[in-house]
Amino acid sequence: MLGCRRSASKVTIIVRRVASRADRTRARILAAAHRALEDGVAGRLSLGTIAALAGVSRQTLYLHFGSRHALFIALMDWVDGTLGLRDRLQEARRHSDPVVRLVACVRVAADYERDIAAVAAAIDDLRRSDPDLEHAWQDRMERRRSAFAGLLADVAAVGALREGMSVPQAAQIVWHLTSPVAYRELVLECGWSHEDWVAYAVDAVVRLVLSPHAAAVAAGGEGSDNAVTDRTERLPTVSS
């Protein structure tokens, strides 16, 4: 019996070592794909290029991800984890009030666009001519809309959603206002500051999807202690 326990223990240790080695290889591949996008070699983003950058064979890459499409979905999730998006959203979700929770998450989502701008821009440029990237991009956008829909369902449950607006409609509006494409157009192309972008996204969401009373509370009106935006936030002045 003692011998069996020792054998089982050795097997467990071996399995853990193999799993740890596999995790490191997987992370190295994802880091290489991320570096390729940021360094501007996205136009040659073949599995062979990524494998070479990671120092592994194409066969090893396929063993870990199975397909190019699966690799790109995993890459987006890996970037989120590496840059701390999940931790930021978890902190924002701790607010008990649904309206405060929604606006806090919108602020996190808008702020995060700066961190992921290089990767998002590269993928956005390539996805229209790359079915695998397009599929991965749409998968990510759908998950993002679903996350906003969950937050907005809680807002609707307390009667704080704008009258006549459905949760799916509100989720699409919030998704659009905080999207990588909107960030790219306003910040990277029009020259807005990051601070102006975040203020715009939060203010627009508050004004467009919340009821007047909820919007006033979210904007710091009526002496609310739960204010998450500041009426003094300056939005950019657009000159003709």
Lowest mean pLDDT among 22-26, 43-47, 170-174, 187-191: 43-47
Report yes or no: 123 and 37 within 8 Å, Cβ to Cβ: yes
Q: What percent of the chain lies above the pLDDT cut of 70?
A: 81
Both 209 and 110 in a single domain? yes
Residue 83, amino acid: L
Both 121 and 44 in a single domain? no
Residue 235 forms part of a structural domain: no
Residue 79 forms part of a structural domain: no
Domain count, the chain: 2
Rounded to whole angstroms, how far apart are CA atoms 237 and 196? 10
pLDDT at 142 over 50: yes
Lowest mean pLDDT among 28-42, 57-71, 75-89, 188-202: 28-42
Both 182 and 116 in a single domain? yes
Residue 196 forms part of a structural domain: yes
Whether pTM exceeds 0.85: no
Residue 183 forms part of a structural domain: yes
Report yes or no: 198 and 179 within 8 Å, Cβ to Cβ: no
Q: What percent of the chain lies above the pLDDT cut of 90?
A: 44
Residue 229 forms part of a structural domain: no
Q: What is the mean pLDDT of the chain?
A: 81
Buried b (16+ CB within 10 A) or exposed e, 84-97: ebeebbeebeebeb
Lowest mean pLDDT among 80-89, 173-182, 198-207, 216-225: 216-225
Give the chain as a DSSP string.
Answer: -HHHHHHHHHHHHHHHHHHHHHHHHHHHHHHHHHHHHHTT-GGG--HHHHHHHHT--HHHHHHHHSSHHHHHHHHHHHHHHHTTHHHHHHHHTT-SSHHHHHHHHHHHHHHHHHHHHHHHHHHHHHGGG-HHHHHHHHHHHHHHHHHHHHHHHHHHHTT-BPTT--HHHHHHHHHHHT-HHHHIIIIIIT---HHHHHHHHHHHHHHHHB-HHHHHHHTT-TT-TT--S-TTPPPPPPP-
Report yes or no: 108 and 84 within 8 Å, Cβ to Cβ: no
Both 135 and 200 in a single domain? yes
Both 8 and 55 in a single domain? yes
Residue 96 forms part of a structural domain: yes
pLDDT at 233 over 80: no
Report yes or no: 65 and 71 within 8 Å, Cβ to Cβ: yes
For residue 205, what is the domain's CATH number? 1.10.357.10
Both 50 and 90 in a single domain? no
32 is in which domain, residue-wise? 2-66
